[in-house]
Structure 1
Amino acid sequence: MGVSSKLLGVDTAALLLPSLPVVCWLALARTCSGDWSALQQHVEAVHKDAFAAHQSLEQLVNAKRFRAAVLRLSWLAGVDAENSPMPKLASLVYIWAHLGKPANAPKPNRRSEHVQQLAREFANGAVSTGIQEAMRLELKAVEAALRIRLALGGSLEEVALLNLVPADTPGKLDGRALIACTRSRGLTEATTLMWATRQGVRWVQAILRLGASASKVTPSGWSALLYGAAFESRKMTADGSSDSGDASYGGYRHRTRGVVGPLIDAGADPQARTLQLKAYLSAFSPSPLTCKFVCASDIAWAESAVNSGWAIDLLSNRPELVESAQA
């Protein structure tokens, strides 16, 4: 017997729907006809809203119709925005937006179809083939997914294991020279903000605006500033490489400080030694670092030219390191 039969005079849908995940709706229909009869009309209305003609994910999120947005995002990207850990959600939605491959599909969609789909969902149908516009739409897609997850109980402080450091990430030698180094890096702990340091300045700023803490440290010691410094040192940040003339999308004035600039502005500590050297080398070796615990300013001093804008930011409170490196 369903709980609906026990709640005479109570709006059962209003009671159950706020806490009942979308993925459970179909299971409820199969297992409890009484409860389903109370919810069916509301569920069908949400489904109709999600797939209405001329509807888009951006419109649903802006209107705060998040349950409908969950359904539409699942259809688009093959992800469960209600139950996926926040960092994995960001990564999967980015893969869909960037490559056109839904998480539940064996191969990507045709590129032309995917470009049109992105434009329909995040640009009112206006298709553009420029790389800057593509990067904007990818960011919009991830932001929409994160807003859905936040509205339904997620947190930007969630930590997940991600394959964040690419296999072809170069190493650093004494003298700060880059060296090719292709190997398996394994999984590392990361929050959504830490994941964003790989994507670039615009992404870090967007995640900070959503409320992420720049000072968050994972149980094993990773921080956004550590990731950001390591990626900047190895020239591995993706965003900003082709938009230096676009002031509204990063712009050259932001690129000099790299992804570490917004993190420092948001309160990240360049001298916080939180990560064991062994863990850092597992992800980013070779490196000339030798200290037992690593902080972001150590990375700037040992691995980067001190006249790099992002390195200057990290070393600004440690003039002795700047003088040593310039000597």
Structure 2
Amino acid sequence: MTSTRPPATVTVRGLTKSYADRQVLRGIDLDIPAGSVLALLGPNGAGKTTTVQILSSLVAADSGTARLAGHDLTREPDAVRGLIGVTGQFAAVDNLLSAEENLMLMADLHHLPRHEGRRRTAGLLDRFDLAEAARRPAATYSGGMRRKLDLAMTLVGDPRVIFLDEPTTGLDPRSRRTMWEIIRSLVADDGVTVLLTTQYLEEADRLADRVAVLDGGRIVAEGTAEELKRLVPGGHIALRFTDAAALDLAAACFPDPRRDDGELTLQIPSDGTVPTLRAVLDLLDGAGVTPAALSQHSPDLDDVFLTLTGHRRQETHR
């Protein structure tokens, strides 16, 4: 069910929002190129869901601007609603209806002609591997099936921008990976633009073209996952040797290496680049010593999350 509608960009400038005396968003800027995924990371209460609610026109911002596919969110809310889809933290599925009925209901809400609604429903049931269960009540579905149906319902209107607010919370690892495959296909095959909020760091690493870290209502860092990882210290090359003599020779090649005599290992600080690895190997070769094992260790998004926000990541519902 590939769409012919053009892809859409999302541009946000200076977005703010307060509730009573609590300032949730303090002037955030976001840019999501057409046909890409931006993952918005942040601890509980950082403002992720509020951002999605504002951009999907459910809540009004106090100040700032947002443009989606060239449409101003404040001046053209109907045009914006016509090109977006939202999948929230909780599946918006009617348990008394079947998958087919849920999808047809969404087609009616989008005022699609009956034949077009049936066509899109059949295509989405096939795409999301729900055809065999199409006429069973949704109450009988597993969590993974309900989330797939929820996302399929979002696609009935052929959105160009999709907001996914923690879409895999509570799913088992297999169902989560299935959702990842579906999201990737939406971007690669349909050119959909996605804003994904998540607390699963692996999810952001796997899906996002760029990652923005939101903390205290502000964007504290943005870039590709690899760029953000390079902001965090702790990368190193681990070397293991067969005997203490080789360990001594190797240790003498480096200033202040982290040494473990019991394990016969050295840790050499590294930025993870090939030139740094080559330089380490050249020094060892010059000293006439060869490690028994070598491995590179780089910071991951867990380390980025902890360093930039001061919070340990939480893989629980907010």
TM-score range, shorter chain: under 0.3
Higher strand share: 2
Larger radius of gyration: 2
Give TM-score scaled by structure 1 length: 0.26
- Which structure's relative contact order is higher, taking Cα pairs within 8 Å and 6+ residues apart? 2
Give TM-score scaled by structure 2 length: 0.26
Higher helix share: 1
